[in-house]
Amino acid sequence: MTSVQKITKRQFITFEGIDGSGKSTQAKRLVAHLTSLGHDVIHTREPGGSAGAEEIRRLLVEGDPDRWSAETEILLFTAARRDHLEKTIIPALAAGKWVVSDRFADSTRVYQGATRGDLRGIVDALHAQMIGVEPDMTFIIDMDPVAALSRGLARKSGEDRFEDFGLDFQERLRQGFLDLAKDYPDRCRLIDGSRGIDAVSADITAVFE
Ligand SMILES: Nc1ncnc2c1ncn2[C@@H]1O[C@H](COP(=O)(O)OP(=O)(O)OP(=O)(O)O)[C@@H](O)[C@H]1O
Ligand SMILES: [Mg+2]
């Protein structure tokens, strides 16, 4: 993975936060803003972001909440991320493009911590072995899970497997993301997502004026 690490000193930006907090909305806004500044930007997402990883996404986000064991789930997420990295992220960064990803490795760290905290060591070990890349900047959109959940479930996308874990789970996720912002203060920026779309977007785009 050394070759991968060498070429990532570019603009790799990720959005993280609980379900329905506005990640996809804000990622889209930021891509439009960066494009308007003249940058070549790709907008991608996890799980998914490459043909193979999108196939794995369906296995992860659809179906019963207890469909996979925690261990199997970590392996599926890591497999999807590796394909996303190889096929989409690294080639784009190597070509001088900016990459805006809706979720990345932080989601696995936090979701795993919220379900089976004792497996966090495996998450970190797999990340070091198979991914080995951190974003240059991560926006963590923070808000009350009750308000966020009502936004998310209202969409009825058929991809509600994680939302179906319930409110307690979302509360643990929120705390997990807040802890993560403290663990990685250099790259993480905490954003208050409870406000209107324009107000949230203004905070984010202001970083790239
Ligand atoms: N600041 C906001 N205020 C009100 N509604 C919002 C705001 N941001 C997003 N929404 C709406 O809330 C819903 C969820 O937003 P979005 O899809 O961007 O969240 P998400 O974090 O990507 O969710 P998920 O984790 O489920 O993918 C959408 O219908 C979106 O239009
Ligand atoms: Mg989304």
- Domains with residue ranges and CATH for the chain: 3-208 (3.40.50.300)
pLDDT at 128: 97
Q: How is residue 168 written in tokens?
A: 């307690």
Catalogue the E-assigned strands of 12-117: 12-17, 41-45, 98-102
pLDDT at 66: 87
pLDDT at 88: 98
The verdict on pTM exceeding 0.85 is yes
Using CA atoms, how far apart are residues 120 and 52, in angstroms rounded to an integer? 25
Ligand number, closest to the Cα atom of 152? 1
Mean pLDDT split into 10-residue runs, the chain, 209 residues: 44 95 97 96 97 96 88 95 98 95 96 83 95 97 90 62 72 94 96 97 93
pLDDT at 4: 43
Q: Which residue has the tokens 């019963």?
A: 64
pLDDT at 155: 59
- Tens of pLDDT along 162-187? 556 678 888 999 999 999 999 999 99
Q: Which of 151, 156, 198, 201 should be mutated for ligand 1, with most atoms under 8 A from CB?
A: 151
Ligand number, closest to the Cα atom of 20? 1
Q: Which of 21, 25, 102, 104 should be mutated for ligand 1, with most atoms under 8 A from CB?
A: 25
Helix (H) or strand (E) holding 115, with range, is helix 105-115
